């Protein structure tokens, strides 16, 4: 395998035994992703998209094949080793935000730094900066139920970025948001990508996938199509226009 790829998966398969039945969620998937790419992973229900996402995120291991992440073979690691890789290499953004309800925005963002072994002062300084970077410097002491859906997702994005991960894995990041707030979150994703971050966006929405520079489509446990996106759609000009008209995106 070449070493100039951030992600290299070769002949990955994943099967599950359910009763007497053997289910092949992934049959044979090979995929390379370079550092700095913005990739949309798409597919209908049952396509293997979610299984591949779990393997890419080191939440699951393949039944066959090899997965090299940033030079590390994670194909058959133990759960403890995978947890360490997840904390260092991957930032997750979920549809349901996955924030701790009784913790403040600052505490939620700082959480990965606890597992990474940083002291409280460093954790708070870095978390505060991360929240400022997503426009929530004035919401650090707010708990999730005191924030809008867009603000909660921005907290989740700040948490995903806090450890400077190799990959941002965004699973349906606009799935629970209205159109206006989705525009803002995708604008934030575009900003993150422009700064050199690698993003894998898992979505079933065509208009959201069109923000990616490359689209990978799955069906029946295989990659059906993989192509550069010639029609990249940016929300940043629209976002700037809305701001100029006085839309209050700080409240989202």
Local structure of 207: helix, strand or coil: helix
Structure tokens at 80: 């403890």
Q: Could you tell me if 173 and 235 are in contact, meaning their C-beta atoms sit under 8 angstroms apart?
A: no
Domain positions in the chain are: 7-251
Instruction: Give the E-state strand segments of 108-173 in sequence order.
Output: 167-171
Residue 43 is predicted with a pLDDT of: 92
Backbone angles phi, psi at 242, to 5 degrees: -65, -40
pTM for the predicted model, two decimal places: 0.88
Structure tokens at 40: 């949309």
Q: What is the pLDDT of residues 94-138, one digit of tens each?
A: 988 999 999 999 999 999 999 888 999 999 999 999 999 999 999
Q: What is the pLDDT of residues 142-190, one digit of tens each?
A: 999 999 999 999 999 999 999 999 999 999 999 889 888 898 899 999 9
Residue 237 is predicted with a pLDDT of: 73
Q: Could you tell me if 105 and 153 are in contact, meaning their C-beta atoms sit under 8 angstroms apart?
A: no
Domain 7-251 has CATH 3.30.465.10: no
Would you call 170 exposed, middle or buried from its count of C-beta atoms within 10 A (0-12, 13-18, 19+)? buried
């Amino acid at each position: 395998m070449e070493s100039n790829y951030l992600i290299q998966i070769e002949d990955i398969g994943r099967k599950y035994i359910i009763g007497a039945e053997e289910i092949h969620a992934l049959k044979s998937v090979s995929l390379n992703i370079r550092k700095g790419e913005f990739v949309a992973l798409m597919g209908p229900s049952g396509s293997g998209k979610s299984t591949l996402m779990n393997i890419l995120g080191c939440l699951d291991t393949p039944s066959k094949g090899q997965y090299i992440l940033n030079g590390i073979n994670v194909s058959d690691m133990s759960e403890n080793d995978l947890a360490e890789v997840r904390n260092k290499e991957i930032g997750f953004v979920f549809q349901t935000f996955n924030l701790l309800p009784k913790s403040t925005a600052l505490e939620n963002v700082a959480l990965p730094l606890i597992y990474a072994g940083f002291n409280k002062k460093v954790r708070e300084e870095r978390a505060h900066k991360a929240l400022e970077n997503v426009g929530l410097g004035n919401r650090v002491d707010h708990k999730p139920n005191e924030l809008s859906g867009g603000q909660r997702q921005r907290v989740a994005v700040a948490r995903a970025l806090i450890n400077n991960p190799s990959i941002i894995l965004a699973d349906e990041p606009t799935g629970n948001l209205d159109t206006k707030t989705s525009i803002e979150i995708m604008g934030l994703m575009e900003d993150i990508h422009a700064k050199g971050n690698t993003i894998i966006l898992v979505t079933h929405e065509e208009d959201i996938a069109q923000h990616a520079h490359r689209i990978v489509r799955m069906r029946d446990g295989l990659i059906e199509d993989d192509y550069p996106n010639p029609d990249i759609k940016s929300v940043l000009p629209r976002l700037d226009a809305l701001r100029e008209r006085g839309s209050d995106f700080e409240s989202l």
